[in-house]
Each structure stands twice: as structure tokens, then as C-alpha cells.
Structure 1
């Protein structure tokens, strides 16, 4: 059987990989930081344009054998590729002040970021498990180096933390990759399928039929043995991919890694890397019978993330635990299978945009090459820098679902609506409860920005009673807004 190749569908990949090569050439020939950064930004823009052009042509596929294809160019994949390219360009822009200080070599930094973008594009268009896993690893591997890539740091603690964060990230990632590969191997052994379109349904039965076996050949036990093997493989694959979104139990790396990495790199980890994991999970979960496993992971992830975030005193760690909780919200609709994929992806795009705005505000409020600092360090920052403080508050409000960031509330209501419509009402209740818990730390962090500045040498905090009262009032408002929708959906036939 002849394999077809559509080079037009591969344009986004060519542009992303070409960006990495262009950066290498710019570094070797010019050796100037401005030229290297310009090449990286030009390549990211070209990747976004190519993804948009391909998406405008509808669905296209390549590397096909029969009906199954390893590269599937859909409009949704094009949107994901555009987001990856946009996040890459944004992180490059945030990194300019740090690179000017020489805190990291510009050539290596931009090259690694472009390689990671190439992995993200590959994940977006992947049509089989091999391409998907290779794309995820290409997205993640450069980040191990970026986390600890510094020539010097303002404080010795940051240098030590960066090295420790990189090692922690690497070790847990190796474990998760091993789980994902083992899961993929078991799925292949049970079903004989690697393409995502062939994983679901009666894949085990089809695999037996292709081998000329029948129910009687298995001693009257039907396809029980292959089905059990496929179930175990699916579970391992989901848990392995869960690492990319920092889902429990492979979540502990995120706070330490985010806090030890340069803030722009932490922004990329919290957005692009997480988006890659969401796209991978959205590609495999609807094809596999893992609804209850995903539901349990979602409950644990959002609950652990929110409860631990309540006790954080460092700003980046607060955002890290918050992003873990947000990953739980994203996982929740995936428990409903294909019916929840659109809601999960929409929420994921919404989340990465607001998360990036939050990290961008942190970079703007801190000195170049400084770490995220303590939450108390931002006391009065909104008064000193009104626009930057307002951007951070807007990001917090959007993530919490409070005015003026009502898009966050609508996104959570959409998830709740999908869960109720598909028979997961109890999971919808858990999502609503966790959304209320999260209000406490978002309100506390936002209140610090506009609290009166303390006298020199005195560090004070926003009164817990004030933060709790504001959070309680906001929670009541959210519940009042959600109650009619929840009651209506629960009583609807």
C-alpha cells in the first residue's frame, strides 16, 4: 500500500523546525542578540501564519495508510498550533530584559524555545500514538535545559533552585514517559492499533479478527484478556500524559520547577507545556474507556491544587498550585468522553491566555532576571504601577471567574453544563465547590496589590478576616449565579 504525503499539510511543522535552524544560522553568522531574537520572532510568526493558512483549507491528512493517518490537519489543530506559536513569541518578548543582562545565552535560549514549539506543533497535528509521544517529548526535553539555563543569577538561592528544579522536572518526566510508553505498548499488544482513530470501540475484537481468532478460540472467554490488557494500557497512558498538565499524582514537580525557573520559562511551562498535555489527553481519552479514571484524577487534582494554594506565600508557587487546580477543571469534562472535548479545549485556551497574562504582569512588576518573590513583596504594587497591577488583577479575576473576568465564570458554567448533561452531576458539584474554594487565594493575592504599603522594614499582610470576608461574599455571588443553572439542568428531563 502506497503512503501519501501532503507537504502543504506539513507547512506548520516545516516553519517551526525551520525556525530552530534559522536561529542556529543567525547565531553562527551574525552572533548578535537582536538578530537572533528577530529570527526567533519571525519564525514564530511564520509558524502561526502557516497554521492559519492550512486550517483555512479544511481538514487535510498525510502519512496515511488506508483510512488511518499519522498527521491530521484540522482547524482545531491549527488553532492549537497558532496558540503554541503565540506563546513562544510572548515568552521571547518577556525574556528580552533578562537576555540583555546576559543572564542566559540568547542563541541557546531561542533555539531551545523553537525546538519546544516544534514539539507543540507536532502534538497538535498528531494522528497516532508514536507521533503524539514524540511530539510531547520534543515539547518537554528543551524545557529541562531552559529551567536551569543561567550564566549568573541575582541571588545564590535562585541558582541552586534552578538546578534543583531542572533535576526534579527531569526525573519525574522520565517516570511519566515510561508510564506512557508502557501504556502505548500494552494498547498496541491488545488492539494492534497505533492510530488514534483506531483505538476506541471494539479494537480488541477487531485485532482478534485480523489474527483469525474467535470467541471460541479464547476458551469461551470472548475478548476479555485483550480487553483487560487494553484497559491497563489506557490507564497508564492517561496517567503518563497527566504529567504534562501537572495532574495528581505526578504533580509535585510543578511548584518547585516553576519557582526555580526564570519567570518567563515558568510562564511557558505553565501554558505551552500544559496545553500540549491537554491536547494529548483530548486526543486519546475519547477513544478509550477511562471516564472514571479521568474523573478521579480531576477531583484529586483540583482539590489538592486549591487546598495547597491557600497556604502559599510565594507568588509563583501560588500560580503553580493554581494551575494544578485549573488542570483539574480541564480534566473534568474529558471524563464525559467525546462530548466534553470541546469544552475542555476551550477552557484550556482560555486558561493559558490568562495564565500568560499573569506571568507577564509578574515579569513587568519585578526587576529583570529576578525571581517571582514573595506575595508580600507585591504589597502596594497596584498603586505604584496601575496598569501592570490591573493586568495581574484581571488575570486573577478571570481565573477565579469574578468580574470583570466573567469569561472565567462562563467557562466554568460550560464545564458544569456539559457534565450535568452527560450524567456526571456529582463531578459538576465538585467543580463548583472547588471554584468557590479558589476564590480565597485569588482575592488575597489581588488585595495585596492595593493594600497600603508598610513602613520601611516592616512586612505586613492583608488581614485574613478581610480576605475571607471578601472571598465569602464573592463565593455567595457565584453560587447565586450558578444555582438557577444547576437546578434547571438537574430537573430537566
Structure 2
């Protein structure tokens, strides 16, 4: 028996390219003089763009590598349509996050080299996870996607909330990972293998005396992925982490981190534990209902007139959206609904990734001129920056599922139909109620965009005998605000590109919703 493996470098090229770019950025940061450090951003963008291009030769799927020499059918890396679709979402989301990050790196509060290295490292882990086909690779990819995120959250210099948010994120994540590793050990004890395909056949046929151990292992293994998707009760880290992290990092966690967690959950449930659908199916259905309800109710309490935080609202919105993403996973517990359910989950993830990153791009722009970044800071954005207001309104309506955000409506219909087809009528009703609840805060925020702008404070009248031109320094004329209010400034070029690109994706998908419908109908597993 030979132990020599043949590595298919083309299959792993997207992941390797991102990892190599991360190392290149780190090395370049060591040797570049300070005035040339801005070149690290374009280098990171180029690496992400190249990794996306590497997906094109793989679009037919079916490439495998790192296979066992005595069992070639058991491989640790599979570049199938499911993996490639998730990698497209992850790498595209990371590219947009990089565009969001470039304006904020100019003020020096974020170290450029460390930021780009950590962002690319987390992206490499998230891109590896959907192609992993054994639990060891899955957990390594999950941790590679998570560990750099701790540092990204607390990386901003001088932040009072960042370190605290990073610690909370770290402690809750470590706890979830420990529980997941315990579950994997139970699964290995029952199945005798870590490959997902072998677990699917060996675990149900394990010694009956290990039945309880196996079922416990199945339940515990899902905890780490529930944490990454921000499912209740593993969601408490989300609002504080989003508030303490730099806004682009919060956007990255809300899309790339969530997509990676969803992919891992789909792989483990449908590939390793299909025989235990009666166990994890109802559990995921309950998690989905609780998650969307908790997120939407909490978001509903964030009121514009009460100085509600825009980032906290986006955080709770992402929790609610995670509940919708979990609905098709619960539907996949029925063996005859797996392909369609997986397609529905990825279809919704595609819509959510595009419009949520667009909303964060607008938030990054508005935050540049707002001290507290409240929802009220968006009041009158239409009169100050019409295109930005139109884009934000479109993103919010997509998330709500209302025209002209047609893609959001179709994505919700696809998810709803997956629940109905799988016989999850109660979950479908819960989802319908939550969609109506979410309309309130999405429409409330949209109305703020087009509401009349609050009157700017006027300068005190200057006596006639003291002309303004002769007023000494330090008088009222010198204390008037000179910085442009939120939204008066034009978005920086990278931000404008991110807003335009995400809006274009949303418009194209709204004009051609058959892309979503075909993805849901064909399935990818």
C-alpha cells in the first residue's frame, strides 16, 4: 500500500490563493516603509479577485483531492457545486468587505498589515469549510475562520468597546467549540471514522449499546455551527460584538461568518447524519423559529425616535435573518427534500449576502459623519445624498421582501415553500408571522431615509455693531460645526464601488428571480 497522495492543486487553488495572499501581506508589512503601507489593500483585493477567478475552471464540479490511498472514494476535499457556490459567496463577501475597509484604514486606528492578514486568514478558513468532507478538516476550517475574527473585533486602537466585545466573542465561541469537539469524539467512538460518508453508514449500524452516545454526539456536534450562524440560544454575542467591532468587521461576520456556519451545518446534518434526521430535524426547526422571533422582536424595540443604534438594529436583523436561513436546513431532515432544501438555503444566503453587505456599506458611509451612529442619523438622507438613500432603501426593502426588492420576496417564498413541502407547517406559520413583524422596523428605517431632515442648529445672532468679519477667535462664529453632517460627504471611491456593486446584484436578481428559483429547484448536494 502506498501512502503517496496526488494533490489536485487546481481544486484547492481558491483556498490556497487566499492563504498565500495573507502570508504575502504579512511579509510585505514587515518590509514596506510606512508611506507604502496603503499598497497592502490593493494586494489583498488582487488576491481575493484571483481566488474568485480560480472558481471558473472548477464550475463543472466533481474535483476531489486528499483522498485515502486505500479508499479513493473517501476524500477530505471535494470541489462540488455546493462547495463552489459557498466559496463564491464567501470570497465575494470578503472582497466587498475589503472595499468597505479601505476608507477606514486611512485614519491609522487599524494597523493595516495585521488587519489584512487576519481578514484573509479568516476568509481562507471560511472558503475551506464547504469543501471539507471529514470532521477533522471541518473543525479546523471552522476555527481558522473564527480565531482571526477575535482579533479583528478588538483590533481598533483606542477603542473602549472593542476589547470587551472581543473577549465576549472569544469566551462564547470557545465554549461552543468545546461542546462541538466533545460531540465529535462521541461520533468517532460510535462510527470509528471522521469521514462524513463513512459516518453516515457506520453510525446508524453501531453497537446498540452506543445508541445514546451516538445521538448525544449528533446533538453536541451541531452546537459550534449553531453558534456561527447566530442561532438562539447561541446569539448573545452578536449585538455587543457588532457594536464593538469596526463596521467592516461586523459586516464580515454577518455574511461570511454566517455563510460558513450555514455550510458546515448543512454538511454535517445532510452528509454525516442523514439517518438521524428525526433527531436534528425538529431541533433545527425549533432553533429556526426561536432565532427569527428573538431577532425580529429585539430589532422591533430599536426605535428611531428613541435614539436607537443603527448597528444594534442591523445586528438583531442579522439574527432574524439567520432564522430564515435555518428553515431549509430543518426541511432537509426529510431525505427526499435534501437537494431542494439545500438549494433554498443557498439561494436565500445569496440574496442576504448581497443586500446586507450593501446596507453595511451605507452604514460605513453614514458613520463617518455621525458620532453615535443612530437610526435618526439617516433622517433626510434623501435630501443630502439621493443615490445613497435610494440604495439603502432598496437594501432594506430586499431584506423585508417588498417591491422593488423583488429578490427578497422570492427568496422568502423559496424558503417558505421548503418548509411547507417538508411538512413543517407550524414553522411556516411562525416564519410568516415573523416576516410581517420585520416589515415594521425595515419600513420604519426606510421612512427615516426620506423624512425631512432635522433643522441644523443656527448660529446666534451677532450684534450689528460687531460684524462677523471682525469677531475675535473663539466667538460663536468659530464654534459652528465645520464637518459635513452625515451623508453630506460623497462616499469614498471603494465605498461607492461596494454600494454600486451590491445594488447592481440586487437589481439583477430582482429582474431575473429565476436565478434564485433555479438554484432552489436544482439543489447542490
* Structure 1 length-normalised TM: 0.85
Q: Report the counterpart of residue 466 of structure 2 in structure 1.
A: none
* 1:322 alignment partner in structure 2: 317
Say if 2:298 is the partner of 1:311: no
Q: Pick from 22, 40, 44 the counterpart of residue 40 of structure 1.
A: 44
Q: What is the alpha-carbon distance in structure 2 between the residues aligned to residue 304 and residue 442 of structure 1? A: 16
In 1: Cα distance, 2:311 partner to 2:385 partner? 19
Paired with 1:322 and 1:108, the residues of 2 have a C-alpha distance of: 29
Match of 1:465 in 2: none
Rounded to whole Å, the distance in 2 between the matches of 1:300 and 1:376 is 29
Partner of 2:495: none
Query: Aligned partners of 1:309 and 1:445: how far apart in 2?
Result: 11
State the alpha-carbon separation in 1 of the partners of residues 372 and 265 from structure 2. 30
Confirm whether residue 301 of structure 1 aligns to residue 291 of structure 2. Answer: yes
Which 5+ residue runs of structure 2 have no aligned equivalent? 303-307, 333-337, 459-525
3-state DSSP class of the match of 1:9? helix
CA deviation map 1:179-233 (0-9, x unaligned):
111111111111223112233356231x45xxxxxxxxxxxxxx2x322212111
| 2:63 corresponds to 1:60 | yes
> Which residue in the other structure is 1:448 paired with?
448
CA contact (8 A) 2:25 2:117 kept: yes
Distance 1:350 1:396 in 2: 12
Q: Is 58-67 or 258-267 further displaced after alignment?
A: 58-67
Alignment check: 8 A CA contact 1:120 1:272 kept: yes
Of 247, 264, 268, the residue aligned with 2:248 is 264
Aligned: 1:128 with 2:134: yes
Distance 2:358 2:297 in 1: 23
Query: Aligned pair count?
Result: 434
C-alpha distance in 2 between matches for 1:372 and 1:23: 33
> Per the alignment, do residues 236 and 247 of structure 1 end up closer, same or farther by CA in structure 2, a change over 3 Å counting?
same
SS in 2 for 1:70: strand
Preserved CA contact (<8 Å) 2:366 2:373: no
Distance in 1, Cα, partners of 2:130 & 2:371: 31
Residue in 2 that maps onto 1:391: 391
Give the superposition deviation at 1:17: 1.0
Aligned to 1:343: 344
CA positional deviation for 1:26: 2.0
Aligned to 2:262: 278
Secondary structure of 2:54's partner? helix
Per-residue deviation at 1:275?
0.6
Q: CA RMSD in A?
A: 1.7
Q: Distance in 2 between matches of 1:346 and 1:132?
A: 22
Q: Distance in 1 between matches of 2:60 and 2:251?
A: 32
Contact 1:116 1:143 survives alignment (8 Å): yes
Aligned mates of 1:264, 1:82 — CA distance in 2: 19
Distance 1:99 1:114 in 2: 16
| Structure 2 residue 103 is matched with structure 1 residue 97 | yes
Q: Note the C-alpha offset of 1:331.
A: 0.4
Write the distance in 2 (CA, Å) between the matches of 1:170 and 1:393.
34
For normalisation by structure 2, the TM-score amounts to: 0.80
Report the structure number with the largest CA radius of gyration. Answer: 2
Cα deviation, residue 57, structure 1: 4.4
Q: 1:18 to 1:190 in 2, by over 3 A?
A: same
The offset of 1:350, in angstroms, is 1.4
Shift of 1:132: 0.9
Question: For residues 202 and 91 of structure 2, what CA distance do their matches in structure 1 show?
Answer: 37
SS for the counterpart of 1:160 is coil
Counterpart of 1:186?
A: 186
CA contact (8 A) 1:191 1:226 kept: no
**Which is further off, 243-252 or 59-68?**
59-68
Q: Quote the residue 2:164 is aligned against.
A: 164
SS at match of 1:10: helix
Q: After TM superposition, give the deviation of residue 400 of structure 1 in Å.
A: 0.5
Q: How does 1:86-485 map to 2 (within 5 A)?
A: 86-152=92-158, 159-200=159-200, 203-205=203-205, 207-208=206-207, 223=208, 225-286=209-270, 287-288=272-273, 289=276, 290-312=280-302, 313-337=308-332, 338-339=338-339, 340-367=341-368, 373-456=373-456
Contact 1:365/1:381 (CA < 8 Å) preserved in 2? Answer: no
